[in-house]
Structure 1
Amino acid sequence: MEKKQDTKEDDEFSESLLQTLEQQTNWDGSPMVKYQGFWYLKIFFRQELASYKHFKAKDSDVILSTLPKAGTTWLKALAFSIVNRGTIYRDIDQNPLLTCNPHKLVPFLVAFKENKPNQLDKPNDPRIFATHVPFKALAYSIRESACKIIYVCRNPLDLFVSARLFLTENKLEKDHAGLLGLDESFDMACEGTHPYGPFWDHMTGYWNAHLENPRKVLFLKYEDMKEDIVFNVKKIADFLGCPFSSEEEERGMVEEISKMCSFQSLKNVDKNGYSIKGLFKNSTFFRKGEVGDWSNYLTPAMAERMKKLMEIKFQGSPGLTFKI
């Protein structure tokens, strides 16, 4: 009875709250709402609020955070493989990554259902969850507990191109007649009007949290991971308190995990199915995964505009830079 009452109160609160919030349409036609300075996809907003209110973090939990298309799927595969390596690598042929998309193995916190707010209280230890919300929108229990947070960010130009192509393939608004042009979409990105944006506030929020407590928040860059994945796999394991033993390294386990979680390996797994409430085609999570692919879509003038924008927005976050 108490859970039903909580659900009713959540519904009433979210509905009344929506009436007070600024609303905007994303360039692909998806409705968004602005809450505490950030834009959320309206389709997920109620569940985001439920997660913030009800999720109870354990000290052993691992929270993976990214902006959409910043390396989320890759990070899920890596974290899952690293923390579960004791069981899944005893018999490599039984590794669930051979048959399951990483999104089915590591749920988003938005997977909360309105009538089952505690459904993520699974017995697994450590539990691994993912989110796209900004640092200040994480559940209080996540920020105040001893659980670990891993954040991956990506060059905003590649981020924009990847997100645009992904949403083009996965239209959330089926009746939407068309999409905004590239120039108009890029304008919105530069204004910070995009899901979970502005991107600069999202990135600096986690960057500053990392500087304040590096044992709590690990901040990684997609480009660095592409350049040296073996180094970063060991870095993630060290951060999570489960470093690779000398025996594991001699057996080549770090390289094995890196290969198993590579773009080439993951793109052929369960590629005909759907993930995340059946909204997104598995095949669209893996396009190219390249660094600098933005140059095939955006003009030098766009790149210069983004470069100047980042210089301004990252001024108060020394050390946070991207190569363009």
Structure 2
Amino acid sequence: MEFIDLKAQYAHLKDKIDARIRKVLDHGNYIMGPEVQELEEQLADYVGVNHCISCANGTDALQLALMAFNIGEGDAVFVPTFTFFATAEVVAYAKATPIFIDSDERTFNIDPAKLEAAILKIIKEKRLKPKAIIAVDLFGLPANYPEIEAIAAKYNLKLIEDSAQGFGGSINGKRAGGFGDIATTSFFPAKPLGCYGDGGAIFTNSDEIADLIRSFRVHGKGIDKYDNIRIGVNSRLDTIQAAILLEKLAVFPQELNSRNELAAKYNASLKDRFVTPYVPEGYVSSWAQYTVISDNRDAAMATFKEQGVPTMVYYRTCMHQQTAFADLGCRDTDFPVASRLAKQVFSLPMHGYMK
């Protein structure tokens, strides 16, 4: 059994994907070819926003978002502590300071009440300027944007949605990738919508932000790539990856239905053994991972292994526990929920072609 069976997905789409790749090989526009613009248009339409700007990977997407907001030294950016390293890494790379926030114990996502408490603490201390929030849609479930957006507006903070794991999820019909001032995603192969390499995208309704990010992603270009009007980066999606994603996006709704059917079967069979995932009313998860809580994780994972079922842990180490952030002086007692989750959670196989 595969944890995420990309081979099964390719077998299902082989003829269409192969035809798309052959078309790219025939026209030879390997960087920013016509498939890239086609994909951007389809993704913007799928999410329901005005603009989608593709880029090289999900980490670059977050970095480009911070660049668009001119975030830098002396700024505070509020991020969950229970997340992948890139969420906080891009903040530190921008020379800003990540302020870690504990998790909601039912959804695992950033806790809005603790977020607001941390904002008030930073305002009171006056050593940093509160500038932005990065909320992560963990394991497929969108964060609590009705509350988070209200908090961002109350304190005049920019809100960035990291929908890399939540892409395909929704809240009351509004799709992940459509929340906040900017949303980002990753097309890493294991993501709900993944390519066969690295890739990412940024979503926004702002014409100004979209134009700025389009410039930033190609060395700060102006009229053309040899007219550089600002300092940017080199972060473009390869045309072949865009071609692959176009075919995967076409069947993405059906894959999401399969994932949700599988999650329902997991819930029914595992509810008496583990704490199964919680999806609030009005929310839809894209099930990037199916993650349960166990007080005896190692033994539970060993039992599944004996039965030929692979398992994974996301995440054993919170951001406040990472060596790279040791100088921030955080303690596990500051983040009791996330610190406990890091010792309890594990994930079971989940993909759209699981029998």
For normalisation by structure 2, the TM-score amounts to 0.27
For normalisation by structure 1, the TM-score amounts to 0.29
